[in-house]
Amino acid sequence: MSLSDEEILAKVQDTLVEALSVDDDEATPDATLVGDLGAESIDFLDIVFRLEKNFDIKIPRGELFPEDLTSADSGYVQDGQVTEDGIAALRQKMPHADVDKLAADPQVENIQNLFTVQMICNFVKAKLNS
Amino acid sequence: MRWIWIDKFLELESGSHARAVKNITLAEEHLHDHFPGFPVMPGSLMLEGMAQTGGILLGEKNNFEHIVVLAKVPKVVYHSWACPGDTLIYTAKLLSDNEKGGTVACEGHVGDRLVVEAEIVFFHLDANDPDVKGVDQKNFVFSMNLMSVMEVGKAGTGD
């Protein structure tokens, strides 16, 4: 399937409108799923299922939304900050996310801001081209 | 009262769809309060019946290895109502599933009349997960109590 960036964005927005009951003008590319769109952990599974259906792709567990990013034994968090090892791990696990932005202010609570509408678009684009 | 909101399975095609029946009767206490003079099946209990139909459909696909818990109802629309004497037929279709959970699309009909439709998302929990131990199991979609609905009709039709 060959879709333009605009078409991917429009379908991702439709997906989020269905899953999160937000308006499509709220789901801007830089909107964060948790902070701006009010997503909860339960919604991430719903979003994965809808993306699989809407784009006809398979999303293995943890690929789009990695789990246990900040668990106590991960070694990636120290004093409320993501360590350099943690940033490196995130770059490897989430090539679709803007990790540079997190690296500039690596507070643990900023990790959830990696999950943006644009991040999902990047992920879907890579999946469709793979 | 037993928390069983379906009477019998009519059909269960593993990993695909299921149909269950719920007969509504004035013997159900809540119908005398909901509402006095106008007894109708509460929408929340129709949703529960659909969740039990869809939850067992999802659980069966994995041989009931996971505890299935209702996580989210992205959509529910009530089109009509169901009264004592009505037979509600719930259908559940498995839309998506993976090791973390699944989604079903459900409908409830009385005859040809669409009464309710919903989408329901379930999560899988594992009984040996330390976070799950001690959680009150009656909140889960299925327990051994609910599983007795799978046995209904198996003793024969009585013909």
A16/A80 same-domain check = no
Q: Which fold has domain B8-139?
A: Thiol Ester Dehydrase; Chain A (3.10.129)
Residue of B nearest to A43 (CA): B72
**A-chain residues near B131 (CB < 8 A):** none
ipTM of the prediction: 0.83
Evaluate whether B20 touches B53 at the Cβ level (below 8 Å): yes
A119/A57 same-domain check = yes
B66 annotated active-site:
no
Name the residue among A19, A42, A53 with its Cβ closest to that of B123. A42
Task: List chain B domain ranges.
Answer: 8-139
C-beta atoms of B72 and A18 within 8 A: no
Average pLDDT score over chain B: 90
A55/A74 same-domain check = no
A2/A56 same-domain check = yes
End-to-end CA distance of chain B: 30
A125/A90 same-domain check = no
Per-residue pLDDT tens digits for B40-85: 999 999 999 999 999 999 999 999 888 899 999 999 999 999 999 9
3-state DSSP: chain B helix, strand, coil percent, rounded to 5? 20, 40, 40
Domain count, chain A: 2
Phi, psi of B114 (to 5 degrees): -75, 120
Residue A67 near chain B (CB below 8 Å) = no
Phi, psi of A32 (to 5 degrees): -90, 145
A1/A46 same-domain check = yes
- Residue A110: which domain range? 66-114
